[in-house]
Amino acid sequence: MDPLIAVVGATGTGKSKLAVDLASRFNGEIINGDAMQMYRGLPIITNQIPVDERNGIPHHLLSCIDLDAEAWRIGNFKREALRLIEDIRSRGKLPILVGGTHYYTQAVLFKDQLVGEGADEEGEPEPGKELESTSQKWPILDAEPEIMLEKLREVDPVMAARWHPRDGRKIRRSLEIYLKTGRPASEIYKKQMSQKEEAVQKEEGLLRFNTLVFWVHAEKKILNARLDARVDDMVEQGLMCEAQKMSDYIHEKQSQGVEVDQTRGVWVSIGFKELAPYFEAVRNGDLSEKELENLRRTSLESIRTATRQYGTSQVKWIRNKLWRALSESGKTRCLYLLDSSNVSEWKNCITEPSEQLVQKLLQNEPTPDPKSLSELATAEFSAKEAQGRVKAQTEILKCYTCDHCKKTMSGEDQWNIHINGHPHRRVLRAAKKKAQRDAYFRQKEMEEKQSHIFKPDS
């Protein structure tokens, strides 16, 4: 029955702790799904669980790549994680995936066809990495949207019809897929979609495994306060020292004539990039003590802000992308929210309910309604469920432009909503009135002309 436990949630909610709890209780091993925690030697900046809190549980893909390595691509991560899951199971143990990097988690949880648009294995850009190398090879990818669109109309009219003429990013992406693979992106998506549709119809579902996903969550205010406090904590534990080490590494490389690309890999991790200007200033030595201290302070403040934003984006992913993917396969009941707002209630709110759920999964018993776990869970899921099941998208949407309103929208559904909506009808009514008015004046004008021509002599 291939069980898999996944733990997701914003940074700072206690995902790693829950994973260790569950692994200890159910003879499990942990697979790290956080791109930055894969880097070696930076336990504080990347927020790794300290060794003495791991309770002797094996942690895979943690602290395993060097500073100068690129962050793993999705395909790479997926392959390795799936291999590890097999391996852990073959030893009679329970695999537990703990992920902060959402697209890693998604690629492991769901079968390939769900990866879908814009995220196919080959073309998926790494975090922070743009497609500079491909535009060197195909300069048209740097052209204005209209020029790219013209080319796209030639090679892939279906995708060309899909995008708004000004949406350069998407036009570029479709064109890039064609240039790289020699096949129109629309063809590739069509195949993926029909595979997806087949899987849904066969009821075999789109999840790879018998999965339980725990979402460790907290009210936003509480979470933000906790994240702020964590930055102070990190400083105490030696954040500056680690960042200094990274800065020295870059400097050393530079002195050897090697330019380190700081727009990717570990260099974009929160904590380092905010402090980089500070260390640069220390090295240059042209700031006073007081100015340096100010710079240090503002850098730390930026770390706090960036951490909060990151937390917010992670929650957004769960609410939108993960929910959508689960909903498409009719599996939203696999997602359990655990309320970690009150840390002193960890045992009641997190440990006990999660253990009961894993127990049920392993014994193949039905699991309860996710809404029943807490008030926060009820609030979160009720609204989502009211929206109904998300239908799997099985066709490539087309862009429609309303000439009256000068608006472009994607997909027939959006188009129907638009043409039946009040704003559009108001514009139509106004246009109709104007047309009537114009016709009236034209008529008048005509009558006047005629009256001149046929004016009877008096």
Whether 3 and 210 have beta carbons less than 8 Å apart is answered as: yes
Distance CA 428, CA 351 (A): 59
* Residue 17 CA from chain centroid, whole number: 23
Residue showing tokens 């302070």 = 297
Cβ proximity to Zn ion: between 191 and 404 the closer is 404
Determine if 402 is a binding residue for Zn ion (CB under 5 A): yes
Backbone phi, then psi, for 456, in 5-degree steps?
A: -70, 140
User: Minimum distance from CB of 318 to Zn ion (Å)?
Assistant: 35
SS3 212: strand
Cβ proximity to Zn ion: between 291 and 413 the closer is 413
Piece in contact with Zn ion (CB under 5 A), picked from 179-187, 282-290, 394-402, 432-440: 394-402
Listed in sequence order, the residues at least 6 apart from 404 whose beta carbon sits closer than 8 Å to its beta carbon are: 424, 427, 428, 431
Piece in contact with Zn ion (CB under 5 A), picked from 83-91, 268-276, 360-368, 419-427: 419-427
Residue showing tokens 């850009």 = 125
Determine if 399 is a binding residue for Zn ion (CB under 5 A): no
Cβ proximity to Zn ion: between 67 and 402 the closer is 402
Cβ proximity to Zn ion: between 282 and 405 the closer is 405
Determine if 424 is a binding residue for Zn ion (CB under 5 A): yes
Cβ proximity to Zn ion: between 166 and 404 the closer is 404
Determine if 404 is a binding residue for Zn ion (CB under 5 A): yes
Cβ proximity to Zn ion: between 399 and 405 the closer is 405
Determine if 384 is a binding residue for Zn ion (CB under 5 A): no
Position among 405, 410, 411, 414 found at the interface with Zn ion (CB under 5 A) = 405
Q: Where are the alpha helices (DSSP H) in 238-288?
A: 239-255, 272-284
Torsion sign across C-alpha atoms 315, 317, 318, 324: positive
User: Minimum distance from CB of 220 to Zn ion (Å)?
Assistant: 37
Piece in contact with Zn ion (CB under 5 A), picked from 134-142, 183-191, 366-374, 397-405: 397-405
User: Minimum distance from CB of 81 to Zn ion (Å)?
Assistant: 47
Backbone phi, then psi, for 441, in 5-degree steps?
A: -70, -35
Residue showing tokens 């190398």 = 133
- Interacting residue ranges for Zn ion, rule: CB under 5 A: 402, 404-405, 424
